[in-house]
């Protein structure tokens, strides 16, 4: 009877080594198959870190922007009212002056002499008038008794009238001399800032001809600017509702800002430019605006109450219009189409698409897709600037 032998897998005999190699190959193939199955499975979704801000509701002014030229409320080129030599100058170049301040003194002596002469002539005329009146009274008494002819009485009456006229002339001469003496003190007719002294001590100033100094009133001050005629209805509505607030700031590095009111709307649209002149007045205390300077202006024509406001950085252009990435509670993002009414510096006023309170992405848009997972960078959440107060009329 033939015996059957069970092969020994651990044998080192050459005839049996192929079985061990086959088993090892099968094991490796199984491991490779498992690795391939794992690689072709669904990939793990990545999380994108983003910066977010909250959409808020607040009042947003609608502001018209323009550039205007600053000019003084009043400007006066001071001239003397009498001719004479300048004796004193009582101010320095560029000094602030008040109305009534004495700025120049013209030599007074000639005018004092003229006043004394006029007063002497007045005294003489007054005495002559009194004498003529006494003579008329005597002739009236004597004429009743027939001692004085009627013609003598009539002549006495004429002399009284003539003397009275001479007295009136002498009184007017005195008044004129007093005025001329007072005009020796050249006073500031308006408050403001004096310019450079144009006539020094010793110069002879001619009445109503010689320029002494130019005074500009700069507190308050005005700014004139032009706006397109398309904005005229908005300005009219605002002025009918009350005084329109105007802000102005200079182009200097400090960009100081002052507030004023719209005071004047011209009655004609310029046909060659299609613009209308507008003027605003500012208290200008402290003196920020200066005559001849250009200023950036904002006219607040109305206020949108409880407007939906999002950061301008959140609004992105798309194929179907503008949109924002809104962060949902499950930390995914959704692309929301929005309509922007206008941009206000670093903010966007949203007319539709958002209600307020949503969180929107303001940084990291290029790595996002609709439905993608996000994480919010800690400590970097932003919100629309609370001090933005200007909008542009679309």
Top pLDDT among 105 and 1 is at: 105
pLDDT at 44: 56
Q: Are 39 and 272 in contact (CB under 8 A)?
A: no
Taking phi over 0 as left and psi of -120 to 50 as alpha, with beta for the rest, 255 belongs to left
* Structural domains of the chain, with CATH: 50-59+306-376 (2.40.420.20), 64-73+218-304 (2.40.30.170), 81-106+185-217 (2.40.50.100), 108-183 (1.10.287.470)
Closest CA to 264 of 216, 215, 227: 227
The arithmetic mean of pLDDT across residues 343-370, rounded, is 89
Q: Return the structure tokens found at 339.
A: 């309509």
Q: How far apart are CA 107 and CA 88, in angstroms?
A: 8
Top pLDDT among 92 and 43 is at: 92
Look over the chain and give the mean of its residue pLDDT values, rounded to a whole number: 83
User: What would the pLDDT profile of 276-306 be if each residue is shown by its tens digit?
Assistant: 999 999 999 888 899 999 999 999 888 888 9
């Amino acid at each position: 009877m033939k015996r059957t032998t069970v092969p020994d897998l651990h044998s080192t005999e050459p005839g049996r080594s192929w079985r061990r190699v086959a088993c090892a190959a099968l094991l490796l193939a199984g491991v490779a198959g498992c690795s391939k199955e794992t690689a072709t499975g669904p990939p793990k979704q990545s999380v994108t870190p983003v910066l977010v801000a909250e959409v808020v509701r607040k009042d947003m002014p609608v502001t018209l922007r323009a550039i205007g030229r600053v000019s003084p409320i009043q400007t006066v080129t001071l001239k003397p009212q009498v001719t004479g030599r300048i004796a004193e100058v009582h101010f320095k170049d560029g000094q602030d002056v008040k109305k009534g301040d004495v700025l120049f003194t013209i030599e007074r002596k000639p005018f004092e002499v003229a006043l004394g002469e006029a007063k002497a002539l007045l005294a003489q005329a007054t005495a002559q008038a009194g004498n003529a009146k006494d003579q008329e009274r005597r002739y009236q008494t004597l004429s009743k008794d027939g001692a004085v002819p009627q013609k003598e009485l009539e002549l006495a009456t004429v002399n009284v009238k003539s003397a009275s006229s001479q007295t009136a002339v002498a009184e007017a001469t005195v008044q004129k001399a007093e005025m001329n003496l007072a005009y020796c003190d050249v006073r500031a007719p308006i408050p403001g800032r004096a310019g450079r002294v144009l006539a020094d001590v010793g110069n002879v100033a001619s009445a109503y001809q010689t320029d002494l100094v130019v005074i500009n009133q700069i507190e308050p001050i005005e700014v004139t600017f032009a706006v397109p005629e398309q904005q005229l209805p908005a300005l009219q509505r605002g002025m009918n509702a009350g005084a329109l607030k105007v802000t102005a700031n200079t182009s200097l590095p400090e960009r100081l800002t002052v507030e004023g009111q719209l005071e004047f709307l011209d009655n004609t649209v310029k046909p060659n430019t299609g613009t209308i002149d507008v003027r605003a007045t500012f208290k200008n205390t402290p003196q920020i605006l200066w005559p001849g300077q250009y200023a950036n202006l904002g006219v607040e024509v109305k206020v949108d109450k409880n407007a939906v406001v999002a950061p301008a950085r959140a609004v992105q252009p798309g194929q179907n219009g503008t949109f924002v990435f809104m962060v949902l509670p499950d930390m995914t993002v959704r692309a929301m189409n929005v309509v922007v009414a206008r941009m206000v510096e670093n903010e966007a006023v949203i007319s539709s698409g958002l209600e307020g309170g949503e969180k929107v992405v303001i940084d990291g848009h290029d790595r996002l897709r609709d439905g993608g997972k996000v994480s919010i960078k800690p400590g970097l959440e932003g919100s629309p600037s609370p001090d933005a107060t200007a909008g542009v009329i679309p």
